[in-house]
Amino acid sequence: MLVLYKTLKFLFRHVLPEKSRYPLARLLARLIVLFNPKRRSILEANLAPIIGAAGARTLAPKLLGNFSMTAVDFFCPRRDVAREIQEENASVIEKSYRRYKKVIVATAHMGNWELGMTYLINKGFLMAGVYAPYREDEVVEWIMRHRNPDVEWIPAARGAVRACINALERGRMLGMAADIPFGEKGHRVKMFGTSAHLPLGPWAIAARAGAAVIPGFVLRVRPGRYRIIFHDPILPVEGSLRHQMETMQERFRGHLESYLKAYPEQWGCLQPFWDKPARA
């Protein structure tokens, strides 16, 4: 698999003209959806609760095409792509950092989520980020070489919560995806009339560190162009740790559901997301 990834990167970065990268990425995605029934089935199953079965069949190739364009941006980044991001409600970041000192930016696998880290570094913030390890160590190492080296990267593994709190206490802002559980079971929630498990990790860290959580999403406006949208901070509440985690998560769930409804084709979830129906 690593050989395939490296070959595709070489072709896209050193052989293909820049203007053809996005069209070819979308074409390859359509071919994968057409000839890989397992992948197609997963994408359609993830989309169906949001837009219905018929809409899911239509949108699945576009979703994978968007994911492929995100991969192009990740492995063959265009100069200044992060500096050209359109901003919406960006002042909430600076205001929250000055007021609360400890800030987590919670996002989802939408648009170009990792681009937000570089955006915040360009704004002058020290950043830490949580990433999901894969089973293939070589693939992990290769991917990590493409991530922003100015970020303190923390694997979602044993000891991650303590490492994240430590980063917050040292003044780093923490970036986390809060839609797919990695290294944990997560908490069952309802969205679009269907149940799924969302991670509790971000909310456990926020509650224990006393950190404000700012929902933020990096959306594709067109190929190679993005806008970043921030929302007002979600703050720890009174009560037990479990109550705090679930209360904060519920507020984020509202944001996530809204974005999934508005931009389902930009949701880069390629694994089964919804809970399996209980057997009769």
pLDDT of 276: 87
Q: Could you tell me which residues are beta bridge partners of residue 194? A: 191
Same domain, 65 and 104: no
Q: Give the per-residue SS3 of 205-250.
A: HHHHHCCEEEEEEEEEEECCEEEEEECCCECCCCCCHHHHHHHHHH
pLDDT of 59: 97
Same domain, 15 and 66: yes
Residue 211 has pLDDT above 80, yes or no: yes
Same domain, 97 and 43: no
Same domain, 13 and 71: yes
What percentage of the chain carries pLDDT values higher than 90?
Answer: 84
Mean per-residue pLDDT, 135-154? 87
User: How many domains in the chain?
Assistant: 2
pLDDT of 278: 56
Same domain, 171 and 256: yes
In a domain, 257, yes or no: yes
Q: What share of the chain is helix, strand, coil (3-state, %, to 5)?
A: 50, 20, 30
Residue 166 has pLDDT above 70, yes or no: yes
Same domain, 167 and 213: yes
Same domain, 132 and 211: yes
Q: What is the pLDDT of residues 222-255, one digit of tens each?
A: 999 999 999 999 999 999 999 999 999 999 999 9
Fill in the DSSP letter of residue 166. H
Contacts of 103 (CB under 8 A, 6+ apart): 93, 96, 97, 168, 173, 174, 211, 212, 213, 214, 233
pLDDT of 56: 98
Which of 49, 75, 101 represents a domain boundary (last residue)? Answer: 75
Mean per-residue pLDDT, 149-166? 94
280 or 50, higher pLDDT: 50
124 or 276, higher pLDDT: 124
Distance of CA 200 to the CA centre of its chain: 15
Can you give the pTM of this predicted structure? 0.94
Q: List the structure tokens of 59.
A: 């949108």
Residue 135 has pLDDT above 70, yes or no: no
Decide: 40 and 33 in contact? Cβ < 8 Å: yes
In a domain, 276, yes or no: no
Same domain, 200 and 219: yes
Same domain, 201 and 232: yes
In a domain, 280, yes or no: no
Phi and psi at residue 11, in whole multiples of 5°?
Answer: -65, -45
Decide: 221 and 208 in contact? Cβ < 8 Å: no
pLDDT of 279: 54
Mean per-residue pLDDT, 26-34? 96
pLDDT of 154: 95
The parent domain of residue 16 ranges over 2-75
Residue 70 has pLDDT above 80, yes or no: yes
In a domain, 211, yes or no: yes
Q: What is the pLDDT of residues 71-95, one digit of tens each?
A: 999 999 887 889 899 999 999 999 9
Query: What mean pLDDT is reported for the chain?
Result: 94
In a domain, 272, yes or no: no
Q: What is the pLDDT of residues 188-199, one digit of tens each?
A: 999 999 999 999
Residue 280 has pLDDT above 70, yes or no: no
Instruction: Work out the pLDDT band at 187, boundaries 50, 70, 90.
Output: very high
How many angstroms separate the CA atoms of 69 and 1, rounded?
Answer: 19
Which of 46, 75, 104 represents a domain boundary (last residue)? Answer: 75
Residue 10 has pLDDT above 80, yes or no: yes
Same domain, 141 and 53: no
In a domain, 252, yes or no: yes
